[in-house]
């Protein structure tokens, strides 16, 4: 099966540290994506309305939102991620990339509708390929974003 690409797609990265997210962004760009960064870090619930507005009003349309290393084992970060997932999953796939070891936290993200990708298990190029596949499957019959 050929590798999905991201040509003509726009991916938003919500990251506390844009410098740390740059390696993933480079891999997404290699697959053809335009990568934009949210103005807010996904660590605090106060960021939710800002990130939502950025995603919903961005031109061109955001094809996927990546919540990048937001320490989802911490209650506030987890709750913020879940709120973003619930509010945006109908608009575009939401993908959480983190180092979380808590199966309960990961399950909560997946139940909310996110695809969870762990940096302990995957390299940036593998994460980019999974993002491309998720975007390609969005909206196809019998497929979900998560």
> What digits encode the pLDDT tens for the residues 17-57?
888 899 999 999 999 999 999 999 998 899 999 999 999 99
Q: Sign of the C-alpha dihedral, residues 66, 88, 131, 9?
A: negative
Spatial CA neighbour of 108 closest among 68, 72, 144:
72
State how far the alpha carbon of 105 is from the alpha carbons of 79, 82, 126, in Å: 10, 10, 22
Domain boundaries of the chain, sorted by first residue? 10-137
Whole-number CA gyration radius for the chain: 14
The predicted-structure confidence for 57-91, as pLDDT tens digits, reads as follows: 999 999 999 999 888 999 999 999 999 999 999 99
pTM of the full structure:
0.92
Write the pLDDT tens digit of every residue in 135-144. Answer: 999 866 544 4
Fold held by 10-137: Rossmann fold (3.40.50)
């Amino acid at each position: 099966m050929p590798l999905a690409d991201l040509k003509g797609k726009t991916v938003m990265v919500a990251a506390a540290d844009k410098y740390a997210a740059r390696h993933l962004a480079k891999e997404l760009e290699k697959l053809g994506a335009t990568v934009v960064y949210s103005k807010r870090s996904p660590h605090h619930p106060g960021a939710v309305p800002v990130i939502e507005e950025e995603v919903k009003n961005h031109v061109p349309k955001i094809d996927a939102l990546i919540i990048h290393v937001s320490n989802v084992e911490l209650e506030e970060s987890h709750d913020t991620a879940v709120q973003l997932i619930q509010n945006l999953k109908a608009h575009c796939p939401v993908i959480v990339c983190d180092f979380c070891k808590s199966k309960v936290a990961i399950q909560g993200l997946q139940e909310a509708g996110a695809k969870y990708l762990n940096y302990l298990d995957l390299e940036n190029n593998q994460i980019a390929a999974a993002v491309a596949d998720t975007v390609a499957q969005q909206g196809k019959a019998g497929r979900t974003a998560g």
